[in-house]
Amino acid sequence: MLENILRSVGENIKLARLRRKITTTTLAERAGISRVTLRRVKNGESGVTIGVYASVLFCLALEKDLLLLGTKIHWGDACKMPN
């Protein structure tokens, strides 16, 4: 489940970059990361820090989307450990 969410976030970042006609090289340079790390973001790899995601979102003028994290309360079993 987490892997799918991160992949979706990465795909959304890619689409935002393409809509703005920014190359991967330019975005990586602006975010202060390597193109390899940007590729890891796009692929939704879980080892990428939230700081990297924040830098990329800032460079795409989407940093306020981070404020949406944790704003919904879900009282389900999403974080229960498997038996």
Amino acid identity, residue 34? S
Token pair of 28 as six digits: 């990586």
Per-residue pLDDT of the chain (83 residues; tens, 9 = 90+): 888 999 999 999 999 999 999 999 999 999 999 999 999 999 999 999 999 999 999 999 999 988 888 887 666 655 665 55
pTM for this predicted structure? 0.80
Question: Are the CB atoms for 60 and 16 separated by under 8 Å?
Answer: yes
**CA 18 to each of CA 11, 12, 49, 62, 69: distance values in angstroms, whole numbers, following the listed order:** 11, 10, 23, 14, 24
Residue 73 pLDDT: 67
Homologous superfamily of domain range 2-67: lambda repressor-like DNA-binding domains (1.10.260.40)
Spans of all domains in the chain = 2-67
Q: Are 48 and 41 in contact (CB under 8 A)?
A: yes
pLDDT of residue 32: 98
Q: Which pLDDT value is given to residue 41?
A: 96
